[in-house]
Structure 1
Amino acid sequence: MSKNKISFIIGTLGAGGAERVVTTLSNELVENYDVHIILLTKCEPFYKLNTRVKLYFCREAYKPSNNIFQALKGNYSLYKTISGYLKKEKINLAIGFMTGANNLAILASRKNNIPCIISQRIYSKKSSTKLSNRVIRNFLYRKASFLVVQTTEIKAEFESILESNKIVILKNPISPELSEARDVEFKKENIILNIGRLSSQKAQDVLIRAFANIENENWKLIIIGKGEKQKNYEALIDELNLKKKVELMGRSKDIAHYYNKSKIFAFTSIFEGFPNALTEAMHFGLPCISTDCPTGPSKLINNNHNGYLIPMGDQKQLEHCLSSLIQNKNLRDKFGSNARKSVQSYKADAVTLEWIGLFEKLLN
């Protein structure tokens, strides 16, 4: 019996949380479905992708639009390409990831008379979406079969647009590749780790300043990620005389290596869709400090039980928590052990079953 054909639709498969989720789900779902991924822009997958997943792209490179007419022309071209692929490959179900791809997935699915699931990956109340884009998004999202979100806060945000029973909360899966690379025997180093795009949203400047203010002898701060704040953070590190103590590592394909060898994970975001890096750090048994930002950290961290949850932008509290963990190995061990147990339900096999349940509602 032939398998149903499903297709994810996403901008690229570069480094990022949504890209990691699509890759992980695709790798897991190949046992049950004929899995396709349509990329809006050609991109070599950053994460390891199963060879049975069929990869297709709409354009060679992204070119920003200079005016509304160029934008409309570009989006129409993408819509036609996606729609053509869904028809040619006889796709049974489309799954959009992130707003631009969601909109196109809905339009192309309706053209082909197939169901469409879309996935909202960010807390849009905190993101700077233009009013015109929000109006288009809200109009099109009503046409989706289901909207997948990660938290109750994001669900509440969209309940004025869609019926509540069409909005489904599903966890982000932890990549089995990461789970397999977890090594409890790995020699730990005096490293505080942060992972995330170098941006105002992730607020790594607060972490750098906090690290400068604490007793950090024999400790290092490692930040993994790239972004528009790179030069600002390099200047800040220089200004605080931390060049030998703080490393901006760029992106890394071997993220498990850093999870394994670090002793503390610190997360300073001012908003999230859902913090994959924090979930992964807890999965590796790292004692974590996180801001209580919308949305996600409060679903993961029970303050003083499996980590520290602190107010956003509270540098003094961050300094206090970093110092507590640096000075107290027993506390690190307690938080780390409790953290590992508390994210068991985020393992890929369990999360994939929930996605399959949603697919089958539409395919049957």
Structure 2
Amino acid sequence: MNKYKIAFLIPSLGSGGAERVITTLANNLTENYEVIIITFDNKQPFYKLNSQIKHHSCTNLTDIPPSNNTYKALKFNIKLLLEINRISKDEKIDIIISFLTIANILGILVAKFRKIPIIISERNNPNKELISNFWMQIRRKTYPSANYIVVQTQEIADFYITKIKNDVVKIIPNPISPDLEIMNSKETKENIILNVGRLSNQKGQEMLLKAFTRIESNGWKLVIAGEGENRVKLEKLIKKLQISDRVLLPGRIKDVSKLYNKAKIFAFSSNYEGFPNALIEAMHFRLPCVSTNCPTGPSELIINDINGFLIPVNNEIVMAEKLNILINDSALRESLGSKAAKTVKKYAIESISDRWKKLIESCLNSNL
């Protein structure tokens, strides 16, 4: 019996959280479906793809620069639309699953033209997301045509329920990648406070650096793993704060497991999120976490003082206070880390994948 064909649609397969989620899901779903991934750009996948997955690119570009010219932007997106449609036709796609706003909009247009179902997924907080009024208006008109819209938290679901039928909006949190390998030996641990995320205003690393100047050092280092537009700004701040000898910015790390296994504490400093992959991963690695109580996600993972610490957004004083408590109490680190790991067991890929399969089968059965 031939398998149904699924096409995941996303702008790129870079190092971001949405890209990791699609890779993790796609790899798992190859057991049940024939899986294709369509990207706007031609960048090599950052995360490892199952060899059974076909990857189609809509352009030969490795990076797609933003366009300030409306005519050029419209022309480029029409080109993408036509190419997505061509690939969908040639591959005889049965269902499209798209991630991120522009991919969602283009995916809906193709799905409706081809008369196939589509599941779209928003990956960030819609109240904070920076998209143009043009795309916001198109999103408002097209999203109600999707078979389902998948979000990660109740707060984000509430935003879309006011605009789309209640039964179309589904909450499915992000899965933990099975590629994240835990090393149980305590001998590999170092005095490292870890932060993982894009170097951007959203991730709040400036606050974290200022908080780090307030901790009782005693040989502890801060490692901020990731890349982004704020690198130069952060490097200047590190120099200004005179902590260059204690802070590392190693850039994108292919095997981030090594850092999670080395670190003793995880500091999550975001100003807002969709659902925080890095925080789930840190908890999975039994790391005691100090996290801002930003919208949305952390408060659905952490119960303050039980399996981690929740602090006010952009508060360097409280961040430093909680880091100091963990630095000076190894038993508390062990206790919080153990409880954190138990909390995120429900995000194992097997459990999350089953929820996606139910939506996929519902769409395919209704399209017969």
- The TM-score normalised by the length of structure 1 is 0.98
1:54 corresponding residue in structure 2: 54
Give the C-alpha shift of residue 70 in structure 1: 1.0
Q: Distance in 2 between matches of 1:191 and 1:23?
A: 29
1:107 corresponding residue in structure 2: 109
| 1:316 maps to amino acid | I
Q: Distance in 2 between matches of 1:284 and 1:63?
A: 36
Give the C-alpha shift of residue 65 in structure 1: 2.6
- Counterpart of 2:58 in 1: which secondary structure? strand
**2:11 aligned with 1:11, yes or no?**
yes
- Counterpart of 1:41 in 2: which secondary structure? coil
Match of 1:158 among 157, 160, 165: 160
Give the C-alpha shift of residue 71 in structure 1: 1.1
Greater mean alpha carbon deviation, residues 12-21 or residues 130-139: 130-139
2:348 corresponding residue in structure 1: 347
Alignment of 1:260-271 (within 5 A): 260-271=261-272
2:358 corresponding residue in structure 1: 357
TM-superposition CA deviations, 1:195-227 (whole Å, max 9, x none): 000111101011111111111121000000111
Match of 2:141 among 139, 142, 161: 139
Give the C-alpha shift of residue 96 in structure 1: 0.6
Are the equivalent residues in 1 in contact too, given 2:41–2:58 (CA < 8 A)? yes
2:184 corresponding residue in structure 1: 184
Give the C-alpha shift of residue 160 in structure 1: 2.1
Distance 1:134 1:51, change over 3 A: same
Q: Distance in 1 between matches of 2:182 and 2:239?
A: 34
Match of 2:79 among 77, 80, 93: 77
**2:288 aligned with 1:287, yes or no?**
yes
- The TM-score normalised by the length of structure 2 is 0.97
Give the C-alpha shift of residue 132 in structure 1: 2.2
- Counterpart of 1:285 in 2: which secondary structure? coil
- Size of the aligned set, in residue pairs, is 362
2:20 corresponding residue in structure 1: 20
1:197 corresponding residue in structure 2: 198
Q: Distance in 2 between matches of 1:63 and 1:343?
A: 37
Q: Distance in 2 between matches of 1:36 and 1:131?
A: 31
| 2:140 maps to amino acid | N
Greater mean alpha carbon deviation, residues 255-264 or residues 212-221: 212-221
Give the C-alpha shift of residue 126 in structure 1: 1.1
| 1:102 maps to amino acid | N
- Counterpart of 1:249 in 2: which secondary structure? strand
TM-superposition CA deviations, 1:163-217 (whole Å, max 9, x none): 0100000010100111xx1111152100000000011110101111111111112
- Counterpart of 1:340 in 2: which secondary structure? helix
Distance 1:346 1:359, change over 3 A: same
| 2:346 maps to amino acid | S
Greater mean alpha carbon deviation, residues 69-78 or residues 258-267: 69-78
- Counterpart of 1:201 in 2: which secondary structure? helix
Give the C-alpha shift of residue 60 in structure 1: 1.1
2:337 corresponding residue in structure 1: 336
TM-superposition CA deviations, 1:290-340 (whole Å, max 9, x none): 000000000000100110000101111111100000000010000000000
Give the C-alpha shift of residue 63 in structure 1: 4.2
**2:40 aligned with 1:40, yes or no?**
yes
Q: Distance in 1 between matches of 2:33 and 2:130?
A: 36
Give the C-alpha shift of residue 127 in structure 1: 1.9
2:245 corresponding residue in structure 1: 244
1:234 corresponding residue in structure 2: 235
| 1:84 maps to amino acid | R
| 1:363 maps to amino acid | L
| 1:20 maps to amino acid | R
5+ residue gaps, structure 2, are none
TM-superposition CA deviations, 1:88-112 (whole Å, max 9, x none): 1110000010001001100011111
- Counterpart of 1:25 in 2: which secondary structure? helix
Are the equivalent residues in 1 in contact too, given 2:102–2:135 (CA < 8 A)? no
**2:92 aligned with 1:98, yes or no?**
no
- Counterpart of 1:213 in 2: which secondary structure? coil
2:126 corresponding residue in structure 1: 124
Match of 1:149 among 148, 151, 154: 151
Q: Distance in 2 between matches of 1:204 and 1:69?
A: 36
| 2:353 maps to amino acid | T
1:2 corresponding residue in structure 2: 2
Q: Distance in 2 between matches of 1:51 and 1:170?
A: 26
Q: Distance in 2 between matches of 1:218 and 1:63?
A: 42
Distance 1:63 1:200, change over 3 A: closer
Give the C-alpha shift of residue 3 in structure 1: 0.3
| 1:288 maps to amino acid | C
Q: Distance in 1 between matches of 2:202 and 2:303?
A: 23
1:30 corresponding residue in structure 2: 30
